[in-house]
Amino acid sequence: MTTPADASSKSARPAAKLALEDGTVFTGRAFGHRGTTEGEVVFNTSMTGYQEILTDPSYKGQIVTMTYPLIGNYGINPQDVESKRPHVAGFVIKELSPVASNYRSNKTLDAYLAENRIVGIEGIDTRALTRKLRIGGSIRGVLSTEVLDDAELVARARAGKQMTGADWVQAVKPAANYGWDETQGEWGLGKVERGEGLHVVALDCGAKSNILRHLAERGIKVTVLPPDTTADEILRHKPDGLFVSNGPGDPAALDYAVKPIKDVLPTLPTFGICLGHQLLGRAIGAETYKLKFGHRGGNQPVKNLDTGRVEITSQNHGFAVDRAGLEANGGVVTHVNLNDGTVEGFRHGTLPVFSVQYHPEASPGPHDAAYLFDAFVEMMKTKVAPTGKRLAELQAMRDTAVAGGV
């Protein structure tokens, strides 16, 4: 399907402005919804996958800047979504593609953002913005097509909500328990570790759909609960394992989610991803802290300390687990980020617990780490956290299965 990206020419679009709390103002052209929005301004280095990024609940409260210069060229389709709707506070790009061409596309990015009331701006120098965020760190901003007075916009940015201490999980959590049985379908990665007869309770802090698809793909029964549940409610479902999902905001503000996790850790094999990794770290006694500008993109290098192997990973987070506190409380660091040395994964020394900061389910991004779901299935069977040697074996098996198409 090939369609115009917008019926109007770029020159006919109204002006839009992005103002930062440090006083910087970028002027560009509006697309998507017309209005005013605020949030923490961050950047993502993925070259593709804008639809999955828009619908990732972990971006709640954030204005996302794409570093790749041309966005929107393959449009929007109803399959490649990570939740029911976009969650970004705003969307910043260099150039909106003049055509949306893909056989699966059913609408343009411009129309999709307008339909979901997401404000977008194009035509600004995204390289300059990204450089500013890398040097100074992610900061508050206001994006508007209505208010075009620089001083007023900067003042509003300075009065905006800080990400530190923010609980955005309440804005994206499910209203009630639900079951999940959708698999990866035609996008499956071949032969996987089977988990028929196993039952996982997943705490949905803003879970991406592809995580749940990976669990269902392995034949696991999946019951999803809100994160503000109790240990008794988790155990009432008689699960074989607990999964803790990704999500937005500051993990230090989520004691209500940490408590039930802490209560079940001694008896229930547990796997966490992203925010779930941070919550597991806090549950065993470690602290978390805010990163300068975070890790967001599909090309983040992570080293497995047990094997020496490097994985290229998909990431989206602005907080990290403190290594010293983690190791002091029984955590064994298994993965580190090669760009800044931060903790990207750990297992517990005695409990059946492991987690990673990055996204092994990808969507978007590489599939180097999909074997970790196989490790979770095996841990539920053995009640023992995977060793470095076993992770290497599972990764080799996954590579062979993908290469052989089985």
Catalytic residues: 274, 359, 361
CB 49 within 8 A of CB 363: yes
Report the sign of the C-alpha dihedral through residues 213, 173, 64, 107, in that order. Answer: positive
β-pairing, 270-273 vs 241-244, is parallel
Q: Please state, as a whole number, how many other Cβ atoms lie within 10 Å of the Cβ of residue 93.
A: 25
CB 249 within 8 A of CB 163: yes
Q: Which residues pair with 244 in a beta bridge?
A: 203, 272
DSSP string, 235-289: HHT--SEEEE---SS-GGG-HHHHHHHHHHTTTS-EEEETHHHHHHHHHTT--EE
Q: Which residues does 289 contact at the CB level (< 8 Å), separation at least 6?
A: 319, 320, 322
Q: Which residues pair with 120 in a beta bridge?
A: 31, 91
Residue 160 CA to residue 163 CA, distance in Å, equals 9
Q: Which residues does 225 contact at the CB level (< 8 Å), separation at least 6?
A: 174, 177, 201, 202, 203, 204, 233, 234, 237
Residue 375 CA to residue 46 CA, distance in Å, equals 27
Q: Which residues does 231 contact at the CB level (< 8 Å), separation at least 6?
A: 259, 260, 263, 264
CB 96 within 8 A of CB 72: yes
Indicate the angle between helix axes 388-404 and 371-382, nearest 10 degrees.
Answer: 130
Q: Which residue has the tokens 């593709």?
A: 48
- Rounded alpha-carbon distances, angstroms, from residue 240 to 199, 263, 283, 355: 5, 15, 19, 17
